[in-house]
A and B are shown apart, each in its own frame.
Chain A
Amino acid sequence: MADIRSNFVGIKSPNPFWLASAPPTDKAYNVVRAFKAGWGGVVWKTLGEEGPPVVNVNGPRYGAIWGADRRLLGLNNIELITDRDLQTNLREMKQVKMEWPDRALVASIMVPCEEQSWKAILPVVEETGADGIELNFGCPHGMSERGMGAAVGQVPEYIEMVVRWCKQYTRMPVITKLTPNITDIRKPARAAKAGGTDAVSLINTINSITGVNLDSFSPEPMIDGKGTHGGYCGPAVKPIAMNMVAEIARDPETRGLPISGIGGITTWRDAAEFLALGAGNVQVCTAAMTYGFKIVQEMISGLEAWMDEKGHRSLDDIIGRATPNVTDWQYLNLNYVAKAHIDQDACIKCGRCHIACEDTSHQAITQMVDGVRHFEVMEDECVGCNLCVNVCPVEGCITMEPLAAGSLDQRTGKVVEPVYANWTTHPNNPMARQAAE
Chain B
Amino acid sequence: MAEGQFKQGIAAGRLAQPQYADNFSDLHPPFDRHEALVEADRCYFCYDAPCMQACPTTIDIPLFIREIATGNPLGAAKTIFDQNILGGMCARVCPTETLCEEVCVREVAEGKPVQIGRLQRYATDTAMAQHKQFYERAAPTGKRVAVVGAGPAGLACAHRLAVNGHEVTVYEAKPKAGGLNEYGIAAYKSVDGFAQAEVDYVTAVGGINVQHGKALGRDISLAELASSHDAVFLGMGLSGVKALRAEGEDAEGVQDAVDFIAELRQAGDLAQLPVGRRVVVIGGGMTAIDAAIQSKLLGAEEVTICYRRGKEYMNASEFEQDLAASKGVTIRHWLQPKSVIDAGGRVAGIELEYTTLRDGKLVGTGETMLIDADQVFKAIGQSFDASPLNGSGGSIAMEGGRIKVDAEGRTSMAKVWAGGDCVVDAREDLTVAAVAAGRDAAESINRALTSNGRA
Contact = CB atoms under 8 A, between A and B. Distances in A.
Interface string A295-326: 10110011011100100000000000000000
A268 B72 contact: yes
B67 A394 contact: no
Contacts of B45: 291-292, 295
A69 B40 CA distance: 13
Contacts of B41: 69, 71
Interface stretch (B73-81, B152-160, B181-189, B340-348): B73-81
Given A291-B45, A292-B47, A295-B45, A302 B72 contact: yes
Contact of B70 (A302, A309, A395): A302
Contacts, number: 44
B103 to A, nearest CB: 19
B34 A301 contact: no
A91 interface: no
Interface string B38-49: 000110010100
A226 interface: no
Nearest to A309: B74
A305 B72 contact: yes
Interface centre among A267, A291, A298 (most CB of B within 10 A): A298
Contact of B72 (A306, A394, A395, A396): A306
B71 interface: yes
B123 to A, nearest CB: 12
A394 B37 CA distance: 12
Most B-side CB within 10 Å, residue of A297, A301, A395: A301
A338 B243 CA distance: 73
A298 to B, nearest CB: 5
Contacts of A269: 70-71
A360 to B, nearest CB: 26
A395 B37 CA distance: 11
Interface residues of A, number: 20
Contacts of B42: 69
A36 interface: no
B277 interface: no
Interface string A54-96: 0000000000000001010000000000000000000000000
- B interface: dominant SS: helix
B74 A305 contact: yes
A297 B82 CA distance: 14
B63 interface: yes
Nearest to A267: B70
Given A267-B70, A269-B70, A294 B63 contact: yes
Interface in B1-50: 34, 37, 41-42, 45, 47
Contacts of B144: none
Contact of B79 (A295, A301, A304, A306): A301
Interface of A: 69, 71, 267-269, 291-292, 294-295, 297-298, 301-302, 304-306, 309, 394-396
B51 to A, nearest CB: 15
A434 B78 CA distance: 62
B309 interface: no
17 contacts: A69-B42, A268-B70, A291-B45, A292-B45, A294-B62, A294-B63, A298-B72, A301-B72, A301-B78, A302-B70, A302-B75, A305-B72, A305-B74, A305-B75, A306-B72, A394-B34, A396-B34
A302 B34 contact: no
A396 B70 CA distance: 17
Given A69-B41, A267-B70, A269-B70, A301 B75 contact: yes
Most B CB contacts (10 A, CB to CB) among A291, A309, A396 go to A291
B66 interface: yes
User: Which of B37, B67, B78 counts the most A-chain CB atoms under 10 A from its CB?
Assistant: B67
A304 B79 CA distance: 14
Given A268-B70, A292-B47, A306-B72, A395 B63 contact: no
Contacts of A301: 67, 72, 75, 78-79
Interface in B51-94: 62-63, 66-67, 69-72, 74-75, 78-79
Interface string B161-193: 000000000000000000000000000000000
Nearest to A268: B70
A269 B75 CA distance: 13
Nearest to B42: A69
Contacts of B74: 305, 309
A295 B66 contact: yes
Interface in B284-318: none
Interface string B104-138: 00000000000000000000000000000000000
A394 B34 CA distance: 8
Contacts of A69: 41-42
Contacts of B67: 298, 301-302
Given A294-B47, A301-B75, A305-B75, 10 more contacts: A267-B70, A268-B72, A292-B45, A292-B47, A298-B75, A301-B79, A302-B70, A302-B72, A305-B74, A396-B34
Closest 8 pairs between A and B when the two form their complex, measured CB to CB: A301-B75, A267-B70, A302-B72, A305-B75, A298-B66, A291-B45, A305-B72, A302-B70
A311 to B, nearest CB: 15
A292 B42 CA distance: 17
Contacts of A297: 63
Interface string B244-272: 00000000000000000000000000000
Contacts of A71: 41
B63 A298 contact: yes
Nearest to B78: A301
Nearest to B60: A297
B107 to A, nearest CB: 16
Contacts of A395: 34, 37
Nearest to B34: A395
A298 B47 contact: no
A269 B37 CA distance: 15
A79 B9 CA distance: 79
